[in-house]
Each structure stands twice: as structure tokens, then as C-alpha cells.
Amino acid sequence: MPRRFGLLRTLCVLATVSIAAACSHGTAPSTTAPKQMLAATPPMGWNSWNKFGCKIDENLIHETADAMVKSGMKAAGYQYINIDDCWMAKTRDAKGNLQPDPTRFEHGIKALADYVHSKGLRLGIYSSAGTATCENFPASLDHEIADATIFAAWGVDYLKYDNCNNQKRPFYLRYEAMAKALRASGRPIVFSICEWGENNPGEWGRRVGGQLWRTTGDISDKWSSMLGILDKQVGLEKYAGPGGWNDPDMLEVGNGRMTYDEYVAHFSLWALLNAPLIAGNDLRTMSDSTRTILTNKEVIAVNQDWGGMQGARIRKDSATQVWAKPMRDGSKAVVLLNRGERPATISVTATELGMRAAGSYTVRDLWTRVTTATPDRITAQVPKHGAAMFIVRAK
């Protein structure tokens, strides 16, 4: 669990003010499709933490890579197989390098990366901007160059960089040191900043060299957790764009403690928020309904829209909300969210969505896959703890 440091937070709030002033970044969406950019669209993949915690080994990673291909997840756009905490041995080697646990990762990370690459996928790994990881394995503070160098030599493509055991040292310097070391490694490695949103990372995550930054503490497989995180995304949309994404944490879809409708809502909202779509379930044994949610190509297309404009909450009633995302082609993606305990009829007009005036709009339901037309109003019956998702387009 994240440890929190009051003094650090105070220092960092002060630091954020000056850094933000010194480092204001343009996040306006580009007008051309970005090329040669890391994470031009939100990264998609899988991570071991939500389902497996520390119970990980190389077989799990092999089998997950296989399942990623067989299940159709790879075809749907998922790429990264990310190993979270607990992959390391308890100590560094004689040269001071990080080394994998000799039993659970007997053949080493390079062999795993080669295997994952042979499947057309990419490998991610984890460390902390502290003296130890959250589970007390060796981490990278003051070892940034050595660790980035070895990650690159192993063929790692993505680093999730946590915030535990940070010795209360300034956040900006800790994350900047690793970002620089990754760049100097010569290998393109996506840098996933996991600072739990403590110091408003939207203001500095891109500038420091991150492609994504966690905006909150950890998600858990509960409707209330997912909604709590959702509420903290309001207003962050201004920070997202090609090459830099708000990260409301990994997906819990398929982990078993939410209903089908709750997972549909979770996935719809994360897609609309341009969240990195990092599955956190067991891909080897997932049910058809879980696979159907995770591989819904029309919902994924909203997330991956190259314009990279994050969706925002545009209406909040007592139990229902409307979220909308401008798509690059002028259409709008819409999520009608029912947080209540009974089914609800939710509607929104094209005018409220800020669409150009048109005689008629087509409304594509991304879950039922039915297209209808309307002169202005879009209405759906939404189950309790559920969501409907549409693309609305002026005819």
C-alpha cells in the first residue's frame, strides 16, 4: 500500500508551484496524427498486480503472453505484458545490479522479453523511486542509470515506477532521474509514473518525461473504489493528449467482485477517460463475458482515437451522470452512467453535447451494436450500477 509522507507532500506542493510555472507544457491536441512518439495513444496491455500480487513467476508471464494472443486481446490492440512488484531477488548482485528472483524467474528477464517479443508483444517491468519497492524488494533510487541500463539490455519496453520508500526526497528529481536514465539507455521505454496523484502529476508528468501518470491511490475490485477514482478524474482532462496520459489505475474487469454491468461501466468510463487500458485479470481463464468486455473494439476505438482528447463529465444529477469525449472526426463518445440502486432512464441532447446543429444524428450503441437516428435527444434505459455508451454523429 502507498506510504504517505506529510512533509514530502508539503515540500512537493511548494515544488509543484515553481516547477509548473517553469515547465508549462502545451497539451493541446495536435492537428496531425503523431508518429514516432511513445504512447501516441494510451498504452494497452496487462499487469500482474491486481490479480496476482506477489504470486508471480515466469510461467505466469509466458502463459499470459500466450493467452493474450489466443484470446484475441492482442488483435484488439493490447500489447504490453507488465510484471509488477516482487519480481526481484531480495538483494542486488555482486556488481550492484538488480536481479530477478532466482527461483520464480529462473531464466531471467531477457529470456522472458525474448519470448514476449516473439509473440509480437512487449514486456514491462516495475521498480520504485525509493530505496525499496512497496513490497520491500530492492528499488532504483540512486541506481537509476544502472537499472535503466539493465532494463534496456534485457529488452524491457515499459517501466512502471512507484513511489514507496522515497526517503522524502523531492518527487520531481526522483522521477526526472529515472526518465533521463531511460532516455540515455538508447531503448524506447514507456515511463509510467506511479506517484498516486499526490503532487498533481498532470502538471509535471509529461515535462519530467513520463508517458502516463497515476492520478490516485490504488484501485480495488469494488464498484465504490472504481467510482471514487472516477470522481477524482474530474478536471484532469486538460493534461491528457498524445504522448501523455492520466492514469486512473489498472482495470479490474474480470476479477470477480463486480457485476457484469459494473464492469461494462468501468471499461466504458476508462475508455472515455483515455486511460491506459491495462487489464488486471487472469487472461488464461477469463470467461467469455470478460473477454467480450475487454475486446469490444468500438469501445477501444474511443480510447485509441488519435486526437487524444480525454472525455469529461458534462452533467451530474443525483444518481446519474453524463460523460462525453470529443472524437477527432467531430463525433462525440458518450457514457450515460447510472450510479444508483435501481434502473434509470438517462438522456442527453446533441445540443448539450456541444454538437453542431444538424437535422438528425446517428446514435451508435457500442454495447448493443445497434445504430439508430434521432433529431436531438439520446435516451437509454441504464441498469443499476451500469452504463450505456454511444457514438453520436451529426448526419
Just list the catalytic residues: 162, 218
**Shortest distance in whole angstroms from residue 239 CB to ligand GLA:** 19
Residues 26-45 that bind ligand GLA (CB under 6 A): none
Q: Which of 49, 52, 191, 367 binds ligand GLA (CB under 6 A)?
A: 49
Q: Is 372 helix (H, G, I), strand (E, B) or coil?
A: strand
Asked if 100 and 89 count as a contact pair (C-beta separation under 8 A), the reply is yes
Give the integer Cα–Cα distance in Å for 290 and 308: 26
Which are the contacts of 167, defined by CB distance < 8 A and separation ≥ 6? Answer: 130, 131, 141
Reference 207, options 229, 239, 162, 235; nearest CA is: 239
Give the integer Cα–Cα distance in Å for 384 and 390: 18
**Amino acid identity, residue 133?**
T
**Shortest distance in whole angstroms from residue 318 CB to ligand GLA:** 32
Query: Smaller CB distance to ligand GLA: residue 175 or 390?
Result: 175
88 binds ligand GLA (CB under 6 A): no
36: Cα within 13 Å, side-chain hemisphere = 0
Residues 126-155 that bind ligand GLA (CB under 6 A): 133-135
- Count, residues near ligand GLA per rule CB under 6 A: 11
Query: Smaller CB distance to ligand GLA: residue 133 or 211?
Result: 133
Q: Which of 46, 56, 57, 85 binds ligand GLA (CB under 6 A)?
A: 85
Reference 310, options 228, 216, 245, 217; nearest CA is: 245
Query: Smaller CB distance to ligand GLA: residue 248 or 326?
Result: 248
Query: Read out DSSP for 113-159?
Result: HHHHHHTT-EEEEEEESSSB-TTS-B--TT-HHHHHHHHHHHT--EE
Reference 249, options 273, 265, 285; nearest CA is: 273
Q: Which of 12, 44, 58, 84 binds ligand GLA (CB under 6 A)?
A: 84
Give the integer Cα–Cα distance in Å for 127 and 86: 9
Residues 218-237 that bind ligand GLA (CB under 6 A): 218
252 binds ligand GLA (CB under 6 A): no
Give the integer Cα–Cα distance in Å for 213 and 196: 8
**Shortest distance in whole angstroms from residue 2 CB to ligand GLA:** 5
378 binds ligand GLA (CB under 6 A): no
101 binds ligand GLA (CB under 6 A): no
Site string for ligand GLA, 157-186 (x = CB under 6 A): -----x------------------------
**Shortest distance in whole angstroms from residue 218 CB to ligand GLA:** 5
The residue with cell 477469463 is 286
Give the integer Cα–Cα distance in Å for 290 and 73: 11
**Shortest distance in whole angstroms from residue 328 CB to ligand GLA:** 31
**Shortest distance in whole angstroms from residue 162 CB to ligand GLA:** 5
Residue, CB closest to ligand GLA: 134
Provide the CA 382 distance to its chain's centre, in angstroms: 26
Residue 188 is placed in which grid cell?
524506447
Query: Smaller CB distance to ligand GLA: residue 49 or 390?
Result: 49
262 binds ligand GLA (CB under 6 A): no
Asked if 70 and 57 count as a contact pair (C-beta separation under 8 A), the reply is no
Q: Which of 65, 121, 194, 272 binds ligand GLA (CB under 6 A)?
A: 194
Query: Smaller CB distance to ligand GLA: residue 273 or 299?
Result: 273
Residues of the shown chain interacting with ligand GLA in the complex, contacts defined by CB under 6 A: 1-2, 49, 84-85, 133-135, 162, 194, 218
